[in-house]
Amino acid sequence: MQKAIVAKVGDYQVRLCDRDDITAVIDINAETLPEHYSDYFYYEILTEFPETFLVAELDGSVVGYVMCRIEYGFSHLRRLGLARKGHVVSIAVREAHRGKGVGTLLMRTCQDAMLKKAATESYLEVRVSNTEAVALYQRLGYKVSGRLEAYYKDGEAALLMASQLGQ
């Protein structure tokens, strides 16, 4: 069956992740990020939140992914109150394919999908030293809403960044 393309930038295509893509997603995560998860974790997120798990491909090979969870809890944007939130758990693009708009397109497309799942805000954690990713999130309208000391295993702090959806 033809896999439905949901967005494009140049020759890159963004589409929903499929179970067959997970091994490529795990490879990309392993080569780009220090945070790894069990194989089971990826399959579980795909099963529970298939609409917000996307891959980018070029000529049939996967070069990037974004995986998210839809959660309900305290808002990161309002002082009080609960919100349905789209949590960007992990995003990565293979190094050779960066700077071409793929990361931006993955983020925008998953935000659209979060909106369709009735989320009103999106949030994520990012290493304080990850200036490239922080700049990308800022361009997309994310603001720092907190700092989580020693969030990562190596002791580095995370910035909690959040953005309103649908504005």
Residue nearer to Zn ion on the CB measure, 57 or 125: 125
Is residue 126 part of the contact set for ligand ACO (CB under 6 A)? yes
Query: Which residue type does 34 have?
Result: P
Is residue 31 part of the contact set for ligand ACO (CB under 6 A)? no
Residues 76-115 that bind ligand ACO (CB under 6 A): 88, 90-93, 98-104
Question: If contact means CB under 5 to 8 A according to the sort of partner, which of ligand ACO, Zn ion, none does residue 103 touch?
Answer: ligand ACO
Residue whose CB is nearest to ligand ACO in the complex, by number: 103
Question: If contact means CB under 5 to 8 A according to the sort of partner, which of Zn ion, ligand ACO, none does residue 77 touch?
Answer: none
CA 41/CA 57 separation, integer angstroms: 22
CA 100/CA 83 separation, integer angstroms: 33
**Minimal distance, residue 88 CB to Zn ion, in Å:** 7
**Minimal distance, residue 106 CB to ligand ACO, in Å:** 7
Residue nearer to ligand ACO on the CB measure, 14 or 102: 102
Residue corresponding to tokens 């959040």 = 162
Given the DSSP bridges, would you call strands 82-93 and 12-16 parallel, antiparallel or unpaired? unpaired
For 54-95, the three-class secondary structure string (H helix, E strand, C coil) is EEEEECCEEEEEEEEEEEEEECCCCCCCEEEEEEEEEEEECH
CA 39/CA 22 separation, integer angstroms: 8
Residue nearer to ligand ACO on the CB measure, 75 or 109: 109
Nearest-CA neighbor of 50 among 72, 19, 91?
Answer: 19
CA 123/CA 157 separation, integer angstroms: 16
Residue nearer to ligand ACO on the CB measure, 75 or 127: 127
Residue nearer to ligand ACO on the CB measure, 58 or 115: 58
Q: Which residues bind ligand ACO (CB under 6 A)?
A: 32-33, 88, 90-93, 98-104, 124, 126, 130, 132-133, 135-136
